[in-house]
């Protein structure tokens, strides 16, 4: 009987990693967006074509960025991280009572005491601002611009630029010089 107890001791100690046994080292990660139908891509290689998305097997101790895109809306990027969960801490405490140091080490290294946050990830996408159309000249602005250049031509020079030629200043009109 003594031999059996000594042989079973390592097994009992490793099984005492309570959080690893009861919670596992992976969890489901959920992404929801308003409006739905956005695509999701993460820095750890997960992708989804249309929200809502559920990624079923993500490491509890993972930390990654999430990018959510949808045509007509601004791209959203954020970070998912992890923290010690209440039930993970309880499992770790069980190790101290039953399994000792081996269970604590197993739970800590497997990430079983952790939970992803935020989870679920809920994002409200912002609509992109509509492009403003170029101003169209009206009859009143066309008449005013026909008068203004003639008056401005006496006191200034016009600058013309093109892709093929450098900017050149050319006088439009010059007032006659008066003798002193």
pLDDT digit string, tens, across residues 125-164: 999 988 776 666 665 555 544 444 444 333 333 333 333 3
Between 37 and 3, name the one with better pLDDT: 37
Residue 113 lies in a domain: yes
The candidate with the shortest Cα–Cα distance to 115, out of 74, 155, 170, 59, is: 59
Domain of residue 151, residue span: 140-171
Domain co-membership, 119 together with 144: no
* Beta bridge partner(s), residue 77: 67
Question: Measured on CA atoms in the order 107, 56, 59, 35, is the torsion positive or negative?
Answer: negative
Residue 4 lies in a domain: no
pLDDT digit string, tens, across residues 49-86: 999 999 999 999 999 999 999 999 999 999 999 988 76
Residue 134 burial by CB count (10 A; 0-12/13-18/19+): exposed, middle or buried? exposed
Rounded to an integer, what is the distance from CA 75 to the centroid of its chain?
7
Domain co-membership, 28 together with 85: yes
Residue 24 has what pLDDT?
83
Query: Pairing state of beta strands 121-124 and 26-34?
Result: parallel
Domains in the chain: how many in total? 2
pLDDT digit string, tens, across residues 4-54: 444 544 544 444 446 667 778 899 999 999 999 999 999 999 999 999 999
Residue 78 has what pLDDT?
97
Residue 55 lies in a domain: yes
Tokens, residue 71: 């045509």
Tokens, residue 58: 């993500």
Between 114 and 106, name the one with better pLDDT: 114
Residue 156 lies in a domain: yes
Domain co-membership, 157 together with 89: no
Domain co-membership, 66 together with 155: no
Question: Measured on CA atoms in the order 49, 31, 66, 59, is the torsion positive or negative?
Answer: negative
Whole-prediction pTM value?
A: 0.57
Tokens, residue 56: 């079923």
Tokens, residue 10: 């390592």
How far apart, in Å, do the first and last CA atoms of the chain sit? 129
């Amino acid at each position: 009987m003594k031999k059996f107890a000594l042989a079973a001791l390592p097994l009992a100690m490793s099984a005492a990693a309570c959080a690893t046994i009861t919670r596992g080292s992976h969890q489901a990660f959920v992404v929801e967006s308003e409006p739905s139908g956005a695509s999701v891509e993460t820095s750890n290689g997960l992708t989804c074509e249309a929200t809502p998305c559920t990624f079923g097997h993500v490491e509890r101790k993972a930390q990654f960025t999430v990018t959510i895109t949808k045509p007509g809306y601004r791209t959203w990027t954020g970070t998912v991280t992890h923290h010690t969960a209440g039930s993970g801490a309880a499992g770790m405490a069980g190790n101290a009572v039953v399994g000792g140091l081996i269970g604590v080490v197993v739970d800590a290294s497997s990430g079983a005491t952790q939970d992803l946050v935020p989870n679920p990830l809920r994002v409200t996408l912002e609509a992109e601002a509509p492009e403003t159309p170029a101003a169209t000249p009206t009859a009143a602005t066309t008449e005013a611009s026909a008068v203004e250049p003639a008056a401005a031509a006496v006191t200034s020079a016009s600058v013309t630029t093109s892709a093929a030629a450098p900017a050149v200043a050319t006088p439009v009109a010059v007032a006659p010089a008066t003798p002193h």
